[in-house]
């Protein structure tokens, strides 16, 4: 079995999460909108899951809107933008935000893109100067899916308020943050926040958008009026229960998992020492503990990934959530990566259930493959 170093793309659903879900998928499988006794039981399970998730991320239960994942949650957060609205964002964002904003720009939305972000960290001064007035919406990824950089939202809000007289409205993509670092929706003071269960060892196919009380959402789906008409469609009770259970485990074990990933990352870097020149593009110590975005000058990332796959090491090229794309990420320009090195970038993201020996073997294999490709001029 491959040594999986691509946990930013997805994580395995833990067996105990499946166990928590199974009764609501196999035994008590009624529609939670039904008025009969089985339906009411399903509704209670769904609302209990909503309450638990809210408690883990500093929100009220009625602020939790279940979605199919973070991609849908991001689209729902952006759906209310109108022609003429001003948006501040950056190419650090996941494609589910970046591509939505590019599409909206063709319909009259004015998007101002941040020109640079050293090591993936947004400068408050650069952010405040990005727009001539307070934007209608400011869109920021709380923890970077490529670099692992964690943004200081309080400082960014303060910079916007100092420049424009008010902090404005914010949408946060917290897909890589929830379950890995503490996230408190109310303290962050965002209007909306998105995340997805499969990033913290929960099931695929379910995520959530947190929408602060008083925030108006423009529905993407119309029909049965579920979830206060913000997201119509039969709610997936089993998936919601699994999401809540996985998040409880992630929050409870957060400190332990963090320390484990730090130790694994250090072992991996040690094993890479014989690879020749390489350098980390994101924050080495202040970001997410499990992520390394590394440039290997003189080596094509697509060739390295194929060679590593054959050797039993799974990793990705930069942002790998774009249907297996191996094209250089737009974020690399913001990071100041020279154009000739942008096809040499590989992302490694550890998981807390890997062993130290596995990570060492993977690092040694990466070093071996990089040396071989450099020798072959690839």
Residues near 325 by beta carbon (within 8 Å), at least 6 away in sequence: 317, 319
Burial bucket for residue 375 (CB in 10 Å: 0-12, 13-18, 19+): exposed
Please tell me what DSSP assigns to residue 167.
-
The side-by-side arrangement of strands in the sheet containing 291-295 is 279-280, 291-295, 345-349
Answer yes or no: are the C-beta atoms of 217 and 75 closer than 8 Å. Answer: no
Token pair, residue 92, equals: 């650090």
Q: What is the largest CA-CA distance in the chain?
A: 69
Q: Tell me the CB-side half-sphere exposure of residue 286, using CA atoms within 13 A.
A: 10
Listed residue (128, 110, 126) closest to 118, CA to CA: 126
Contact (Cβ atoms closer than 8 angstroms) between residue 312 and residue 358: no
User: Exactly one of 131, 261, 315, 321 is catalytic; which is it?
Assistant: 321
Q: Where are the beta strands (DSSP E) in 212-252?
A: none
Cα separation of the two ends of the chain: 27
Q: CA-CA-CA-CA torsion for 187, 190, 195, 201, nearest 10 degrees?
A: -10
**How many CA atoms are closer than 13 Å to the CA of 7, on its beta-carbon side?**
28
DSSP secondary structure string for all residues of 251-278: HHTHHHHHHHHHHHHHHHHHHGGGG-S-
Mark whether 321 is an active-site residue. Answer: yes
Instruction: Give the relative orientation of helices 237-252 and 254-271 as an angle to the nearest 10 degrees.
Output: 70
> Cα–Cα distances in Å, from 27 out to 40, 41, 42, 166, 239?
14, 11, 11, 51, 14
Active site residues: 321
């Amino acid at each position: 079995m491959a040594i999986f170093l691509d946990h930013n793309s997805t994580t395995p659903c833990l067996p105990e999460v499946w166990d928590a879900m199974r009764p609501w998928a196999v035994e008590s499988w009624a529609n939670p909108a039904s008025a009969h006794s089985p339906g009411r039981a399903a509704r209670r399970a769904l609302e209990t899951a909503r309450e638990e998730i809210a408690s883990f991320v500093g929100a009220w239960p009625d602020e939790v809107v279940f979605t199919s994942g973070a991609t849908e949650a991001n689209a729902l957060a952006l759906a209310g933008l109108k022609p003429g609205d001003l948006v501040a964002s950056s190419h650090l964002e996941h494609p589910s935000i970046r591509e939505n904003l590019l599409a909206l720009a063709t319909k009259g939305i004015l998007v101002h893109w941040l020109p640079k972000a050293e090591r993936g960290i947004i400068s408050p001064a650069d952010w405040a100067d990005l727009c001539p007035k307070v934007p209608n919406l400011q869109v920021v990824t709380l923890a970077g899916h490529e670099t692992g950089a964690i943004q200081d939202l309080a400082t960014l809000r303060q910079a916007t308020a100092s420049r424009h007289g008010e902090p404005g409205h914010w949408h946060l993509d917290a897909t890589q943050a929830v379950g890995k670092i503490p996230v408190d929706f109310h303290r962050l003071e965002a209007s909306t926040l998105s995340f997805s269960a499969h990033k913290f060892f929960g099931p695929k196919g379910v995520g959530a958008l947190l929408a602060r009380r008083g925030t108006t959402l423009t529905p993407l789906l119309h029909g049965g009026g579920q979830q206060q008409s913000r997201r119509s469609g039969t709610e997936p009770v089993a998936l919601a229960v699994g999401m809540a259970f996985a998040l409880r485990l992630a929050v409870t074990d957060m400190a332990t998992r963090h320390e484990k990933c730090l130790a694994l990352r250090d072992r991996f870097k040690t094993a890479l020492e014989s690879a020749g020149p390489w350098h980390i593009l994101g924050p080495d110590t202040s970001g997410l503990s499990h992520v390394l975005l590394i440039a290997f000058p003189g080596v094509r990332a697509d060739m390295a990934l194929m060679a590593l796959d054959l050797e039993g090491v799974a990793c990705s090229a930069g942002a790998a959530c774009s249907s297996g794309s191996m094209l250089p990420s737009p974020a690399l320009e913001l990071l100041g990566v020279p154009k000739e090195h942008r096809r040499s970038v590989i992302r490694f993201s550890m998981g807390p259930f890997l062993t130290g020996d596995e990570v060492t073997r993977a690092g040694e294999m990466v070093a071996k493959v990089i040396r071989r490709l450099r020798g072959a001029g690839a």
